[in-house]
Structure 1
C-alpha cells in the first residue's frame, strides 16, 4: 500500500490519497498531536472514514514505536546509542507535551456513530486497510444476547433485568464461559462486528455481550453508538472510562439532537399510572401473604430467591411517593387554551421535593424500584409490564445526574445544571388514541385527560461538557454536512481550535447548482407559511417540475419541507392534471410515512430507473426523512435533486419556541454576544442543515455528476447561500429567467454524459456500505406487482385516498387485468426440485446441535467434515445410522449438490451463511430483488466467482430467468444461454420439451432402438461400449457422446482436452481447472475438484462434453462416483453398478508436467478384465478389429439432454428406464 508521511507520521493508505484527503488527515494528526478538539467537514464520497481510521491507527503505531525505542535506549543505558541521550528518545515519544512512558499510556480510540449499521460499514472499511488493531464493538443485550429465555422478553428493560438476575446467580452458562474463552485467538484476534460477535458467541457458547465488555479492556479501538457516550446512564452501565482517550463522532450532524434528547424526558399520566399499578400488585401480594401466618415461611423463602428484600411498609411508602408526584403535577394550573405553562429548569426540584424525591432520597428510591423490577422479571404467570417503573428510574437519574460534592447542598448543584433546561407542563393530547388501545395495566387515571411533565434540555453543551470533563484527550466531530461550522461550534460551548471545510474531489463539469426564484409562468416560488399552499405557487412549482423532468436524465429526487406540504402539492397536481404530465416523463414515487413500506417504494423506484428504455423516475421525499439521509442515490439513481423550500422547524411547536427563547437568554447573558448562538440563527441553521443533507444525495463518488435545483426565492439571499456547503457555493448561480435554467441544464448533461458515460456495473467498492450496495443492486430487477403498488400515489398520500388501496376503479381496466393476471400466475406456480429443495433437504438432515452452523451443507460436505476430523487424528465417534435417503437422481438435484459444494469452497463461513439465508428467503417469498442483491455482493466483486454467479442461472425460477441473464451480463459481461422458452412455467416447459424430444427421437433413433439398448440387459460395462452398428434415420453427428471413446489415447488426448477447455472457457477458466487438478493430485479430494469442474462446464449445454471427457483424469477408486455425478448433472438415468468412464488405455503415456502423478495417469480400460456377466452386445463390440476406424454413423445415438429444469427425463420414460 502507498505510504504518506504527514506531520512526521507514516500513514499506510490503500491507494494514493487525493489532496483533500491528505489535508483531512493532516488536520486529524494536528488534533491528535496537540491534544485539541476539531470539527472536520468532508463531503460524502471523499473517503473521510478511511482517512480517520488510517490516520488515528498510524498515530498510535507511531507512539508505540517511540515507546519501544525508549525502552531499548533505557535497557542498553546508552551503550549502543551514546550519541543520543535518553531525552532525545523521550522527545520522540513525548509528542507535544505527552508523557508516554509505557504501552498502557498509549491512548485508546473510541469511534462512535449513530447506528450499528453505520459502525458495521466502518469496520468493513477497517478490514480494507493494512492495520490490524485489537477491536471491540459494544452493543446492547437486545442485539448481542443469545440466551433463549432472555431473548423472549417483551422489552429491553425486561431483558436487562433477567440477564442481571441470571448473571448474579451464575445460571447463564454463556456468561460462565466468558472468562475461560475470552482469550481464545478466534474470539480476541480478528476484527469482528456485531454479527460476527453473535455468530462466534453461538459457536463457542460464550456470551457476546459480556465478551465484548471483556475485550474492551485490551482493545486499541472501540466502536459504539452515540448514546453510549452521551448518556451518562449508558456510560456507567457499560463502564466506559474516557480518561486519556481519543473520541471520534462520525456523522456528527446528529450529535446536537442526541445530546439534548438523551438528557430530556416526557412523563405522561400513563407512565405514572402504570408504575402505580405494578406497585399495587406487589403490595397486595405481600399483604395477602402477611395475613396468613402459615404461608409466612414460604413467603420469606420466595422473596429471598427472587431478590425482593423489602418490608411491606417500604413498598407502601414507594406508592405514596408516586401518588404525591401525580398530585403535584395535577396541581399545576394550566391556561384554558391548552398551551401549557413553562417553568425554569430549577422548578423540577421543587416539584419532585413535594413527592419527597431529593438528592438525599434518590438512592433509596432507585434501589427500591430496581428490586421490584427484578422481583417481577422473568417469573412465570401473567406478564407484568414494568416499563412505567423503568421510565421513572431513568427520569430520576436524569434529574439528579450530577451528584453534589461533599458538604455542599444538592439544591445548588441542581440550580447550576438546570440552566440548560426548561420545565413545560401541558395537557395530554394522546388520551383519545390511548383509550382506543387495550392495555392490561391501564388504570382509570391513565385514560382520562391528564398533564404531561416535560423536562427539556436545550443545550448540547451540557452533555458535551460533561463528556470532556471525563478526561477526554481529543474530541473530533466529523460529517459531510456540518456547515456552518461556526454555529455548530458555538452550540457545543467547548473550544474547537482545528476546523476544516474540505472541498469535493469532483471537477467543475460534474456539478450544476442553480437557484430558481420563479417558475416558468413567472410566479415567485416560496415555501413560506403564507404562500406554500397558494394555488399560484403550487401551480408554478408543478410546471417547473415538469420542465426539469424533461431535461434531467434517469433519476430525479424532489425534497419537500414536510409531509403536509408534499401531500398538499400532490393533491393539487392531481386535481389539475399536472401529475399525469410528469408521470408520462418520469413515473412518480412517494416516500411513505410508514417506515415499514419504505423499502418497497425505494426498490420500485430503483427498478424503474434501471429499466431498459425507461426515461427514469421521480422520487418525492421529505427533508429530514429516511431518503434524505443515509441512502445512496449515486449515478443513474440521482442525477438531479430539487429542493422545493427551506425546511424550517414548526415555528409554533412549544419545544421550538422554548429552544429559541433559551438561546436568546443565553446570548443576552453572555458578555461577548458572539460567543452564543441566537434563537433565529439556530432556526436558520436547522433548515440549512436539512437542505445540505438532501443535496448531498446527488454526488456520491469521484466520477458521479448531477444537478441541484433550489426552487425557493429565499435561496437567493446571501445568508441562505452562506449556509450551504463550501463545495457547493462555488458552483451556485441565481437565475432570473426559467428558460435559461432549462438551457444551461440541458447543455450541462450533454457535456457530462459525453465526458462520463454510464459506468459498467461492477463490484461494490469499500466506500459503499453493504446495506446501500444491496439496495443499489436491487435496481437491476424488472417491474413487479409491488412496483405498481409503489407507483400508486393514493397508497402513500392520505388526502388522495378515494377508494380502498389495491382495488382498481371501473375505468382502470388495464390495471385490473394486470393485477388479476399476476395473481393467477403466482398462485399457479410450482416450485421445481432444485437448489432450494436441496437446501431444505440438507437442513432436515443436519443434526440438531449443528443446525445453525451447517443449515445449508450437503451430505457430501458433512462427510468431508468427518473425514477431515479423522485425518487430524481427533477423537472418533462410532455411530450406527440408517442409510440416508438421497434425493432422486436427476439433473436439478445433482446440480444443486455440486453447486452447493462449489459455493462452500469459494465463500467464507459468514458469506456462506448469508448465501443460504438469501436462498431461504427467495424460496419462501419469491423476492428476486433481495436474491440478486445478495448474490451480487457475494459473487460479483471477485472475477473468480463470476462462474458461480452464472451457474446459479439454472436454479432461478422461470419467470426470473430473463432478468437474471440481463443482470449477469451487466455484472460479468457474459450471457447465461437464455431462451424464450425458459421463462415458461415448468408445466408448460415440460409439455413443450416432451413434444420436441418425441419429435427428435423419431428423427434420430432407429426402430426398435429402445428395445435393443435395454440397460438391464446390455449396459453392464457402461458407456464406453455403447457403440453399435445401428442405422440412424437422421443426421446424428451432433448428438452428444459420453466419455472419450473417440479421443486419442495418452498425452495427445490430454493436450487436446486442455486445448478444447482453453478455447471453450477461456484462459482464466482453464487455469482454474488445472489448479484444481493439481490440488486433486495432492489431496485426492474428489468433491473439491468436481465442484470446480461442474461450475465451469455446466453453465452452458455445449460445455457438457468437457465434463464427460474429464473422466480421463479420475482415479480408479473415484470413477463410480464420478460416473454417477455425471449422470445426475446431465439428466441421464442411473446405469448401474460398476460403471466407469473411458480413458486413454496407454498407461505409459505422460501427462502435462504440472499434472504428473502416478495416479493422475489415465487409468486402464475395464476391458482388460472382462466381467463374467459380459453382455452379447459388449462382446460384439470388443471383437471389433479397429476401434479408431469406426465412423460417426456407427456410434450409438445417446438420448438428447433435457433442459436443466427437468429432473425426470421424458426420453427415459419413452425407453422404459
Structure 2
C-alpha cells in the first residue's frame, strides 16, 4: 500500500494514498486552523490513520502559512502591524506618496534572498554534521573544535551517609541581602562577555525561524510520543521555498526520567520528582554534573543541531547524549527557537510553571492534544491529591527516624523546618481523628483550611515557608532515597513516594486554586482528605487564550458535551469546530447488537440489581452461546475487577457454566498486577493460534486492557460489553463534583431541574467515554471485522445510544431482536467472512 513521494503527490504530502475519510479529516483540521477557530474537537476511530492525518494537515498548513506570510514575494511581512500603522499615520501627516515600487521590490527581494540563504546554508550544515556524526559514531564522537571531551567510564557508586544529607538551608531572612544583587551583577557581566565572545568564537551556521507559529503535539504516555516521532519520520513536506529542500524541524521534549544520562541520578529513584530534585541538588555541589552543558557550550549546540539532521525519538536522544557525553535534557532546548513542531507529555504542556521553566512560548501556536478523551481526568489529577491518616502517620514516622539519625549533622534551618513539618502532619492527623469521633466525616462534604487548623496552633505555622523549604532544599528525595536504600519498612511500593505526596498536599494548603476544593473521601475503607480540581476550565484557559487554536483529537471523544461545558465554557460556540470521522471499515465488516434479555429474562446490571444470581447465570448462558458462534478471540469487558470475580464465582458454582464455557474457548483473565499483563496477553495470543476454538479474555473497563492494547484481527472477532460501568456514585469525588456542577448551574441562572440534568449527564458521560474506549478495541484497520455486543437493557435508551461513538451508533441494529435472532445474524456474519476468504 505504501507509495513513493511522487506517487503520493497529494495536497497534504501524505506518505500513503489516503482514504477518503482521511482526506476529510485532514480538510477539517486544516480548515479549523486556517479559518481561525479557537478550538477543534476531532474524533477519529483507531485504525483510521489519525496520527498521520494530524501531522500532514497541521504541517501542510504551517508550510503554506510560511510561504504566504513570511517568504512570499507578494505578502512578505517587512514590518509589524504596529509599524505599518505608525507609517500610515506619518504618510497622512506628510501627505507624501508611497515609496516607489522598485524600492519595495528591492527590499522584499533582499529579505527573500537572506531567508533563502539561511535555510540553504543550515541544511548544508546539517548534511555535513550528520555525515560527520555517523562516520565517527562507532569509534566515539569527536568534535572538530577545541572542546573535545574524553569518554568517561561510569562506575557504580557506594552510597555513604553524606550522600543523603541536604545542603544547608537558610530562610530568605537569614540570607545576606546582597546575594541577589551580586547574582544579578554576575549575570549581567556574563551576558556582556557572552556577546563579546559570541561574535568571534561561534562559527556554526545559525538558523533563524521568522515564523511566529509553532505546532505543539502532546500525548499522555512516553510510548505514544515515540509513536508520533515514528509517524512523522514517514513524511516529507513542501519547503518554505519551492526550489529548496527543507527538513522538518522537530524537537521531542521529555522529562529527566527519560533523558537524564547520569547513572547516579537515574539509579537513585524511579520517581519523577525525586529525579528532578536530585538533578538540581547535584548541580549545586562543587563538582556538579559532568554532563551538564556549560554556557555557550559548542557541544550542546552540536547536540541540538544533530537532532535536526533527521527525526529522532526520545530513546535516540538518550543514545546521542551518551555518545557525545552531554545532557540531552538541557541540550535539546537549544533548538527551541528554530523548531517547527514540538512533542511533549501532558504534564509539560498543562502546567504553566513547567512551561516557564522550559521557556516554551505557546503564543499564536497550534496546540494538538492527542488521546484527548482523558484530558479532563488528567487536568484534575495534576492538581489533585488525597491523603489518609495512614499516609500521614507513615510520613511522620519516617521523618522522625531521618531527623534523629542526622540531627547533629543538619544545620538549624533544615532541623527546625523538619520539626515544623512533623508537627504540621500531626495536626492534620488530629483533625481527622477528632472529625471521625464527632461524626463530621461525610463523603463529598467540603472542608475549609480554617477547619483543619482552627482549633490548633497550626495557623501559627507559615505553611508558605515550610513549602518553600521543601522546594528549595530538595530534601524530600534525600530522605526518600535514604529510607529506600536502608530501611524498607518506611518505603512505599507506589511510584509516587509518600513524602512527595505530602509536599503536593502542603502546596495545595498554601496556595489552593479557586477552582479546587478540600473534601472528605474514603480509600480502602480509610478516611481521606481529598483536594480536587473541580473546574479545569480555569487552569486550561491560559493555554486557549495564548494559542492560535487548540485541537483535541482522540479515537473516542463522545460524548463531546463535557468538553464544551467544562473545558471551554468561555469560548463562543461559533469559534469551536467539532468533527466525527467515520470508520474506514465497510459497513459489512462490523455489527453492533443490543442484548437486553436472555430467554425472556431481563439483563440489567445496575448497582442494585447486578448481584441477582439468576441474572448472572443468564449472562453466562448468553456468553456461552456467543462464544459458540465467534471464531478465534473474544474480549469481554466487565465494570470492575470486583464484579468480574463475583461473576466467575457464580459461574463456577452454578450449572457448570464456567466448565461449559471452558470447553468452547480457553478462558483467560486480566490480572490486577500490571507486571503480569504482558504474560497474559502472550498466553491469549498463543491460545488463539493453537487452540481449536480460540480463547476468551475477561477484562475490566478502565483496566490494563481497555486502552492502548491492540486487539486486531483474530485477537478480537467479538467484543462484549457487560453492563454500564458507572463510577461509584457514593464516592466523595463524584459527590463533590456533582455538587459543584449543580451549584454552578444555579449560580449561572439555571433552574434546579437544569442542575439535576447537568449533574446526571456528567455522571453518564464518564461511563459512556469508558464504554466507547473499551469497545474501540474491536476494529484496528480497514480489513478488520468484528461484532460488538452491548449487554444491558439500558442500552435501549436513546439517551445512552446518543452517547456512543458515531461509528458505533450508525452501525447499531435498531430492530428489536431476540437472542436467537442475534445468534443467527452472528452466525451468518462470520460465515460470510469465511466464504469471502475462500474466494
Q: TM-score, normalised by structure 2?
A: 0.74
Q: Deviations over 1:327-356 (max 9, x none)?
A: 455544555496557225676897699634
Tell me the SS of whatever aligns to 1:630: coil
Structure 2 counterpart of 1:164, from 276, 280, 293 = 280
**Does structure 2 retain, via aligned residues, the 8 Å contact 1:20–1:503?**
yes
Q: Which residue of 2 aligns with 1:421?
A: 516
> What are the equivalent positions in structure 2 for 1:755-794 lying under 5 Å apart?
755=836
When residues 692 and 577 of structure 1 are mapped into structure 2, their CA distance, relative to the original with a 3 A threshold, is same
Q: Does 1:56 align with 2:171?
A: no
Distance 1:77 1:346, change over 3 A: farther
Contact 1:260 1:456 in 2 (8 A): yes
- Match of 2:624, SS state, is helix
For each residue in 1:919-972, what CA deviation from the matched residue of structure 2 results, as whole angstroms up to 9, or x when unmatched? xxxxxxxxxxxxxxxxxxxxxxxxxxxxxxxxxxxxxxxxxxxxxxxxxxxxxx
* Partner in structure 2 of residue 667 of structure 1: 745
2:547 matches 1:467: no
Whether the 8 Å CA contact 2:250–2:339 is kept in 1: the answer is yes
Higher relative contact order (CA 8 A, sep 6+): 2
Whole-Å Cα distance in 2 between the matches of residues 238 and 522 of structure 1? 62
Give the Cα separation in 1 of the matches to 2:430 and 2:500: 20
1:174 to 291, 294, 315: 291
Find the aligned partners of 1:183 and 1:665 in 2 and give their Cα distance.
Answer: 54
1:193 maps to which of 304, 308, 313 = 313
Distance in 2, matches of 1:53 and 1:460, equals 27
Aligned residues: 686
Show the counterpart of 1:512. 591
Look up the match of 2:163. none
Change in Cα spacing, 1:32 to 1:574, as seen in structure 2 (3 Å) is: same
Find the counterpart in structure 2 of residue 362 from structure 1: 464
Give 1:454's match in structure 2, choosing from 512, 516, 530: 530
1:680 is the counterpart of 2:760? yes
1:492 corresponding residue in structure 2: 567
The answer (yes or no) to whether the contact 2:713–2:785 under 8 Å persists in 1 is: yes
What do the CA deviations read for 1:233-291 (whole angstroms, capped 9, x no partner)? 544454433222221110111111111111111133355445555665676678747xx
Structure 1 residues 571 and 380, CA gap change in structure 2 (3 angstroms): closer
How far the C-alpha of 1:652 sits from its partner, in A, is: 2.1
Query: For residues 629 and 348 of structure 1, do their structure 2 counterparts lie closer, same or farther at Cα, with a shift above 3 Å needed?
Result: farther
CA 334–427 in structure 1, closer or farther in 2 if over 3 Å, else same = farther
Aligned to 2:72: 69
Change (3 A) 1:279 1:135: same
Could you tell me how far apart the structure 1 residues matched to 2:105 and 2:444 are? 76
Is 2:250 the counterpart of 1:135?
Answer: yes
- The residue number in structure 2 matching 1:591 is 670
Q: Partners in 2 of 1:247 and 1:353 — Cα distance? A: 47
Q: What is the CA–CA distance in structure 1 between the aligned matches of 2:75 and 2:49, rounded to whole Å?
A: 38
For 2:750 and 2:387, how far apart are their aligned partners in 1?
37
Counterpart residue number, 1:814: none
CA distance in structure 1 between the aligned counterparts of 2:709 and 2:476, rounded to whole angstroms: 41
Alignment of 1:79 with 2:102, yes or no, is: yes
SS in 2 for 1:174: coil
Q: Distance in 1 between matches of 2:375 and 2:426?
A: 36
In the alignment, is the contact (CA less than 8 A) between 1:201 and 1:207 conserved in 2? yes
Give 1:491 shift: 2.1
Question: Which residue among 202, 206, 216 is the counterpart of 2:336?
Answer: 216
Q: Structure 1's 508 and 82: CA in aligned 2 closer, same or farther, altered over 3 A? A: same
8 Å contact from structure 2 (residues 269, 481) kept in 1: no
Shift of 1:696: 0.9
Q: Could you say which residue in structure 2 is the equivalent of 1:723?
A: 803
Quote the residue 1:699 is aligned against: 779
CA separation of 1:400/1:501 partners in 2, compared to 1, >3 Å: closer, same or farther? Answer: farther
Aligned to 1:947: none
- State the distance in 2 between where 1:104 and 1:399 align: 44
Cα 1:588/1:288, change in 2 over 3 Å: closer
CA deviation string 1:771-821 (max 9, x = no partner): xxxxxxxxxxxxxxxxxxxxxxxxxxxxxxxxxxxxxxxxxxxxxxxxxxx
8 A contact 1:510–1:706 mirrored in 2: yes
State the partner residue of 1:116: 222
Structure 1: how far apart are the matches of 2:387 and 2:210? 44
Quote how far apart the aligned CAs of 1:229 are. 2.0
* Aligned mate of 1:150, from 242, 259, 265: 265
- State the distance in 2 between where 1:638 and 1:737 align: 24
Q: Quick check: which has more Rg, 1 or 2?
A: 1
What pairs with 1:807-826 in structure 2 (closer than 5 Å)? none
Query: CA offsets per residue over residues 747-772 of structure 1, 9 Å max, x none?
Result: 122223333569xxxxxxxxxxxxxx
- Per-residue deviation, residues 1000-1055 of structure 1 (Å, max 9, x unmatched): xxxxxxxxxxxxxxxxxxxxxxxxxxxxxxxxxxxxxxxxxxxxxxxxxxxxxxxx
Displacement of 1:116 in angstroms is 0.4
Displacement of 1:536 in angstroms is: 1.8
Aligned partner of residue 12 in structure 1, secondary structure: coil
Matches within 5 A, 1:292-331: 310=413, 320-331=423-434
Residue 189 of structure 1 aligns to a residue in which SS? coil
Summarize the alignment of residues 871-882 of structure 1 with structure 2, pairs less than 5 Å apart. none
- Aligned 8 A contact 1:243 1:472 in 2: yes
CA contact (8 A) 1:592 1:598 kept: yes
CA RMSD of aligned residues (A): 3.6
Shift, 1:389, TM fit? 4.6
Q: Aligned partners of 1:180 and 1:353: how far apart in 2?
A: 57
Q: Is the 8 A contact 2:667 2:696 kept in 1?
A: yes
C-alpha contact (below 8 Å) 1:20/1:505 kept by paired residues: yes
Match of 1:183 in 2: 301
SS at 2:368's partner residue?
A: strand
SS at match of 2:611: coil
Equivalent residue of 1:475, what SS? Answer: strand
Name stretches of at least 5 consecutive residues in structure 2 with no aligned partner.
79-98, 113-207, 238-246, 492-496
Cα shift readout 1:152-204 (whole Å, capped 9, x = no counterpart): 21353332222112223452111136933233243443222121111111111
**Cα deviation per residue 1:1166-1205 (whole Å; 9 max; x = unaligned)?**
xxxxxxxxxxxxxxxxxxxxxxxxxxxxxxxxxxxxxxxx
CA pair 756-168 structure 1, distance change in 2 beyond 3 A: farther
State the shift of 1:148 in Å: 2.0
| Alignment partner, residue 394 of structure 1 | 504
Q: CA separation in 2, counterparts of 1:748 and 1:279?
A: 64
Tell me the residue number matched to 1:547: 625
SS at structure 2 position matched to 1:181: helix
Deviations 1:9-30 (A, max 9, x none): x421112322221221122122
* 1:310 match: secondary structure: helix
Counterpart-to-counterpart distance in 1, 2:677 and 2:810: 35
Taking the aligned partners of 1:567 and 1:332, their CA distance within structure 2 comes to: 35
Instruction: Sort the Cα spacing of 1:675 and 1:11 in 2 relative to 1 into closer, same or farther, 3 A.
Output: farther
1:851 alignment partner in structure 2: none
Counterparts of 1:1057-1096 in structure 2 under 5 Å? none
Question: In structure 2, what is the Cα distance between the partners aligned to 1:123 and 1:697?
Answer: 23
Q: Distance in 1 between matches of 2:379 and 2:738?
A: 17
Q: 2:828 matched to 1:752?
A: no
- Report the CA distance between 1:120 and its aligned residue: 0.9
Bigger shift: 572-581 or 274-283?
274-283
Query: 1:401-412 residue pairs with structure 2 within 5 A?
Result: 401=511
Q: Deviations over 1:566-593 (max 9, x none)?
A: 1122222222212222222221111111
Q: 2 CA distance for matches of 1:286 and 1:711?
A: 61
Q: CA 1:379/1:477 → structure 2, altered by over 3 Å: closer, same or farther? A: closer
What is the TM-score with the length of structure 1 in the denominator?
0.52
